[in-house]
Structure 1
Amino acid sequence: MNAADMSDPVGRVIEWIAAARERGERDAQAATLATVDPASARPSVRTVYVQTDADTLVFFVNANTGKGQHLRWHPHAALCFFWRELQQQINIEGVAEVLDNADADRLWAQRQRDSQLSARSSAQEAIFGDIEAFRQRREREHDAYSFEQVPRPEHWIGYRLLPTRIEFWAAGWHRLRPRELFERDPDGGWQEADQEP
């Protein structure tokens, strides 16, 4: 591992994501997001699409869902990228910081149109409910924005993950599964922690 990797493991995360995408990994930017329900202390997970913005990782959640409520009251979260074909995985723990409206709108505009329409059509009460009602809402959204940019709904909140712990895993010869672990120092730098393979 070179000196740049040692001082900037977040940059290395972004490089791995780009490399996975270039090597044809499906859904290279999909990651499992873990949050904690502060009322019950129970963990909860779901898959989110992660965008890279300069040297940071960004994701969106519906503020009205369980995930949105968890992050509102307990901003600690974790992301796990796993690329089966490449035999690589990254685990990232940190604090989720709400994006300001300008950054959220800018990054929202970079998302695929189908994803934007689905997000605008989602309703918390319909998550386990009537799929036909969702389809009707989505059709109305499609018609409403046929010839213009799809605006970000107010309940669709962007978060930037500020990492405090990053672990890289890659399968090695004879499946030794070497791991590299980095932890944030109080002064903002990074230290590599000793870890068994």
Structure 2
Amino acid sequence: MELEDIRREYIKGGLRRKDLLNDPIDQFNLWLQQAIDAKMMDPTAMTVATVDETGQPYQRIVLLKHCDQDGFVFYTNLGSRKAQHVEHNAKVSLHFPWHNLERQVNIIGVAEKLSTVENMKYFASRPKESQIAALASKQSSRISARGVLEGKFLELKQKFAKGEIPVPSFWGGYRIRPTSIEFWQGGEHRLHDRFLYSHEENQWDIDRLAP
């Protein structure tokens, strides 16, 4: 089969303006809970897109760790490539692909660093192995072999076998404050339903977009 022949119909049902909540964060949390209830694999996985100093875009998948009226939160190594991009250009986009529900959510916003208290609170809630991995890995740096990383992990695991692991100074989180959020629902005959929430003058305006 040729790639251009691979297609399917979207039959999960449409999306109408009357179905939408007035606040996009409430609408997002509703869809996220439905993705969780549907037992989708990695429902909190999202693509984070950033741009480097030359204008080259990059994408990677991270996990959403919190969402409220202030924005969308994820954690990373503050020396990573994505963090370096944000330092230069705080405008980012997020994308949630919930294929089984024939839904997507696209978010455009501005990244800001979390406070030390927020970082410490979340780091302490992580499994110990995840804490050690954060300490062992200098994210995005070049390494000669996987064995180097595994050796560092084992060394730190022994070092902190009986003690608490300190929050690395190079580790923390970002909150993406949204300026627009688009909800996409697949429709028959490629007549998809798209609604865009735009933040204007301290309120959210809702527009239907052509598919």
Q: TM-score range by the shorter chain?
A: 0.7 to 0.9
Residue identity (%): 30
Q: 2:56 aligns with which of 42, 63, 72?
A: 42
Alpha-carbon contact 1:35-1:45 (below 8 Å) kept: yes
Q: Distance in 1 between matches of 2:187 and 2:65?
A: 28
1:14 match: 29
Q: Between the two structures, name the one with larger relative contact order (CA 8 Å, sep ≥ 6).
A: 2
Partner of 1:104: 119
TM-score (norm 2): 0.82
Question: Contact 1:75–1:96 (CA<8 Å) still a contact in 2?
Answer: yes
1:47 alignment partner AA: I
Change (3 A) 1:90 1:128: farther
| Greater Cα offset, 135-144 or 88-97 | 135-144
Say if 2:85 is the partner of 1:70: yes
The range that moved more, 151-160 or 169-178, is 169-178
1:138-179 Cα shifts (integer Å, max 9, x gaps):
112323333455443111121011000101112234553211
Q: Does 1:194 align with 2:205?
A: no
Give the secondary-structure state (helix, strand or coil) at the position aligned to 1:162.
strand
Q: Tell me the CA shift for residue 182 of structure 1.
A: 0.8
Contact 2:181 2:197 in 1 (8 A): yes
Distance (whole Å) between structure 1 residues aligned to residue 181 and residue 26 of structure 2? 11
Q: Per the alignment, in what secondary structure is the counterpart of residue 183 of structure 1?
A: strand
Give the match's secondary structure for 1:57.
strand
Counterparts of 2:164 and 2:27 in 1: how far apart (Å)? 33
Q: Provide the residue aligned with 1:146 in structure 2.
A: 161
Shift in Å, 1:128: 5.0
Name which of 78, 96, 120 aligns with 1:81: 96
Q: Which amino acid aligns with 2:171?
A: W
SS of residue paired to 1:92: strand
Q: Which residue of 2 aligns with 1:116?
A: 131
C-alpha distance in 2, partners of 1:66/1:92?
20
Q: Post-superposition shift, 1:11?
A: 2.2
Matched residues, number? 194
- 5+ residue gaps, structure 1: none
Shift of residue 192 of structure 1? 0.8
TM-score normalised per structure 1: 0.87
Q: Could you tell which deviates more after superposition, 68-77 or 113-122?
A: 113-122
CA distance 1:144–1:189, change in 2 (3 Å) = farther
